[in-house]
């Protein structure tokens, strides 16, 4: 594990604004984020409070009260580098987070961490609209895989005198190649996840920022409007069909209920995954025979597929085998995506759960943080994504071990936040 062990005096953050030049450190990005608090009564700059929040979280603290005490116990040590004549209380952290715009903060963190959408191929080499895209792309042209999945910030759920305050939801769009969150979108409420995705896609269509990207999502987003929005943005989709699209599912199931022949050819692959006490056999069959039939309802469809998952688990009670059949469709033609590639994308989609959602809950305690302010919990979710990106940048394989190291050596965590990345 490669930690920065030397403190550079030039990283002293004794206040002051960053003017001009390129923002290259997390602290500089904090300085440029707007502070929505009134000037009267400010004792701490927002950048300082956000820095202290990250220091406490990097040290393993999961609550605002715990972070406030952690900073207070190390006031003399942190005061060597930070302007800390006094330390903020837990309510100050909450108040500052509630008055920082989460989307502005996320954009600042994204620009510093290098997870901006500019990783796609140059715009001049790509078609601007789906109608202008070539019928066949070279098979070696990689697609940037973005996995979409929603998450509830359960700690924001409240029972109030006026009724129940539903938990704040967010839609994460995860760059599976770079293991960083590419977008974190607030959801207005239950059932609004697809609308949030479509609004984001409309913005990206204006920026032409999704050319050369592939979006995967769960069955909730398998809708004609979502497919159209993805294609309008210049991207491709890979979606599964479940009971919410019964007609589509039945059409695909009927096609694969027949054995392949000369008139209805198909492509097929198998993969065995072993681990976690189980053996999983995945068989995928893909066909383009339904393209013309589905084209009017599902814009850009190029392939449909069937996956049969057979899982065998061995325990002290014996061997248990279960089977599941999944159907789906994609806008990527067979010339650019073999059945093996489709299986790889479907498996890689779950990196958003394993590398982001699960670690934010299990390691950073995101759902256990009880906070009624929805703007504040959104900011803390952005900070949690920032922490995971920083730890991945250090090639950390054990987050708990890294946090214990930062707890013992706060100067290393401060170096990580204040030195150019």
SS3 per-residue string spanning 216-243: EECHHHCCHHHHHHHHHCCCEEEEEECH
Q: What is the dihedral of CA 242, 243, 245, 250, to 10 degrees?
A: 80
Q: Which of 147, 299, 143, 149 is nearest to 211 (CA)?
A: 143
Please report the pLDDT score of residue 23 as a whole number: 79
Structure tokens at 318: 């014996």
pLDDT of res. 159: 65
Angle, helices 90-98/374-393, rounded to nearest 10 degrees: 100
How many CB atoms sit inside 10 A of residue 161's CB? 4
CA 308 to CA 285: how far, in whole Å? 9
Q: Alpha carbon 311 to chain centroid distance?
A: 28
**What distances in angstroms separate CA 390 from CA 249, 301, 338, 393, 402, one per listed residue?**
41, 38, 34, 5, 11
pLDDT of residue 75: 95
Instruction: Give pLDDT, residue 6.
Output: 42
What stretches in the chain show pLDDT beneath 50?
1-12, 14-19, 115-140
Task: Calculate ∠ Cα 232-294-234, nearest 5°.
Answer: 15
Give pLDDT tens digits for 221-233.
999 999 999 999 9
The DSSP bridge pattern shows strands 236-241 and 318-330 to be: antiparallel
Helix (H, G, I), strand (E, B) or coil at 80: coil
Q: What is the pLDDT of residue 276?
A: 77
Do the beta carbons of residue 194 and residue 228 sit within 8 Å?
no
Angle subtended at Cα 42 by Cα 36 and Cα 43, rounded to the nearest 5 degrees: 135
CA distance 168 to 189: 7
The pLDDT score that the predictor gives to residue 209 is 86
Element (H, E) at 164: strand 163-165
CA-derived radius of gyration, the chain: 24
Chain-centroid distance, C-alpha 272: 27
Instruction: Work out the burial of residue 127: count CB atoms within 10 Å of its CB; fewer than 13 is exposed, 13-18 middle, 19 or more buried.
Output: middle
Q: What's the rounded Cα separation, in Å, for the pair 325 and 8?
A: 57
Provide φ and ψ at 150, rounded to 5°. -90, 160
Contacts of 234 (CB under 8 A, 6+ apart): 126, 127, 128, 129, 130, 133, 205, 208, 210, 211, 212, 213
**258 bridge partner residues:** none
Q: What share of the chain is helix, strand, coil (3-state, %, to 5)?
A: 40, 20, 35
User: Which residue shows structure tokens 């760059």?
Assistant: 175
**pLDDT at position 13:** 54
From residue 311, alpha-carbon distances to 168, 281, 345 in Å are: 35, 6, 19
């Amino acid at each position: 594990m490669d930690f920065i062990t030397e403190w550079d005096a030039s990283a002293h953050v004794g206040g002051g604004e960053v003017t001009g030049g390129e923002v290259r450190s997390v602290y500089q990005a904090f300085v440029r984020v707007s502070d929505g608090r009134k000037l009267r009564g400010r004792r701490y700059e927002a950048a300082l409070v956000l820095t202290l929040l990250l220091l406490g979280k990097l040290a393993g603290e999961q609550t605002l009260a715990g972070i406030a005490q952690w900073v207070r116990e190390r006031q003399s040590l942190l005061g060597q580098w930070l302007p800390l004549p006094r330390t903020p209380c837990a309510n100050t952290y909450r108040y500052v987070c509630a008055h920082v715009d989460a989307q502005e903060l996320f954009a600042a963190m994204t620009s510093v961490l290098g997870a901006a959408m500019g990783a796609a191929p140059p715009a001049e080499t790509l078609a601007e609209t789906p109608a202008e895209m070539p019928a066949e792309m070279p098979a070696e042209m990689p697609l940037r895989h973005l996995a979409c999945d929603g998450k509830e910030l359960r700690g924001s759920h409240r029972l109030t005198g006026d009724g129940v305050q539903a938990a704040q939801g967010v839609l994460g769009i995860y760059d599976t190649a770079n293991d960083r969150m590419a977008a974190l979108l607030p959801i207005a409420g239950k059932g609004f996840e697809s609308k949030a995705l479509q609004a984001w896609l409309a913005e990206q269509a204006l920026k032409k920022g999704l050319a050369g990207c592939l979006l995967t999502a769960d069955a909730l987003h398998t809708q004609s409007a979502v497919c159209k929005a993805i294609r309008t943005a210049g991207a491709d989709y890979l979606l599964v069909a479940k009971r919410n699209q019964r007609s589509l599912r039945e059409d695909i199931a009927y096609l694969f209920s027949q054995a392949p022949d000369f008139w209805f050819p198909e492509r097929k692959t198998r993969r065995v995954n072993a681990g976690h006490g189980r053996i999983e056999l995945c068989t995928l069959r893909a066909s383009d025979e339904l393209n013309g039939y589905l084209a009017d309802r599902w814009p850009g469809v190029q392939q449909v597929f069937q996956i049969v998952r057979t899982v065998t688990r061995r325990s002290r009670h014996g061997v248990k085998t279960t089977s599941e059949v999944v159907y789906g469709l994609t806008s990527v033609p067979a010339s650019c995506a073999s059945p093996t590639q489709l299986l790889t994308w479907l498996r890689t989609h779950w990196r958003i759960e394993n590398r982001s959602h699960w670690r934010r809950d299990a390691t950073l305690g995101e759902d256990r943080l009880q906070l009624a302010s929805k703007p504040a919990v959104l900011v803390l979710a952005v900070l949690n994504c920032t922490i995971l990106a920083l730890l991945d940048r250090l090639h950390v394989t054990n987050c708990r071990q890294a946090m214990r190291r930062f707890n013992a050596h706060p100067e290393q965590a401060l170096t990580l936040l204040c030195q150019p990345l």
